[in-house]
Amino acid sequence: MSTGTVLAIVIPIAVVIVLVVLAFVLDRRRRNRLRERYGSEYDRTVDEAGGRRAAEYDLGAREERHDSLDIRPIDEDLRKRYLREWQGVQEQFVDHPETAVHDADRLVTAVMHERGYPTEDFEQQVRDLSVEHGRTLEHYRAAHDVELLSSRHQATTEQLRGAMIHYRVLFDELLADGNQPGSGRT
């Protein structure tokens, strides 16, 4: 075989190999970025979607929807008011734990609404929150599950206490997000 023939065979093969490796590296970077951004929500979405590609498409759709929302920080006076309300909800827990959990859910929902998140449907709330708060969604889901039990008077005091802790994690993050240097999108 002549040198020209060998080059005509080797160069396209090398180009294909480079393109395959590049595609693999870019795919890995995208996956790592999504895993870092969404935390355990990434794995949950993979399980629910039935595969990585479908999950990554879903997460991309969440990001597009989130970008279309008018998410904004809470002004300082309103933030202080919400903190006072939270203090009252915590104090209420001692005598009325079920009511306190319901009020914690209501307060977290009010903060979400104030920030610009749609709040009509829990599943959509989770999808919208996942873009910037993916690492705290397990807390929100756990609290919401207990709140549902509580509405049927089936939650134990320990579950109710745990729900308050879970709600507090998201509450703090929602209040702080956009109000501190370095917060917001990554």
List pLDDT tens digits, range 95-148: 999 999 999 999 999 999 999 999 989 999 999 999 999 888 899 999 999 999
The answer to whether residue 184 scores a pLDDT higher than 50 is no
User: pLDDT tens digits for 57-74?
Assistant: 999 899 999 999 999 999
pTM of the model: 0.77
C-beta pairs of 69-72 under 8 Å, 24+ apart in sequence: 69/116, 69/117, 69/118, 69/128, 70/116, 71/115, 71/116, 71/117, 71/132, 71/178, 72/115, 72/116, 72/178
